[in-house]
Amino acid sequence: MAKPRILLFVTELGLGGAERVVCELAVRLPAHGFEVEVAALQDDHGPIGDELRERGVAVRGLGVHRRRLWKGARALKRFANERRFDLV
């Protein structure tokens, strides 16, 4: 049976509290039988993005400016549909 696939989404991968929570979830969930990827609205750079990659988590930047949230929603939907996640 395939592992359930989860996409965790944040606006950016700086040092904020939400980003730290996403990082901890992304690192810990695979031990419980989940496949996890992280997507950021803007890009995949930043301290948390670097830490995630170092810890073996796939990170993807959607390349959308935070003032263009409607484009971000479309980009997120397109990415999630392409990668066939079970939970976003």
Predicted confidence (pLDDT) per residue in 2-21, tens digit: 899 999 998 888 888 999 99
- Going by the DSSP 8-state scheme, the letter that residue 3 receives in this structure is P
* Token pair for 59: 């990170």
SS3 39: strand
Mean of the per-residue pLDDT values of the chain? 88
Indicate if the pLDDT at residue 43 is higher than 90: no
What is the per-residue pLDDT across 23-38, written as a single tens digit (0 to 9) for each? 999 999 999 999 999 9
Per DSSP, the three-state class of 6 is strand
**DSSP label at 1?**
-
Percentage of the chain modeled with pLDDT above 70: 98
Per the listing, tokens 């959308």 go with: 64
The set of residues, in sequence order, having a beta carbon less than 8 Å from that of 68 and lying 6+ positions away, is none
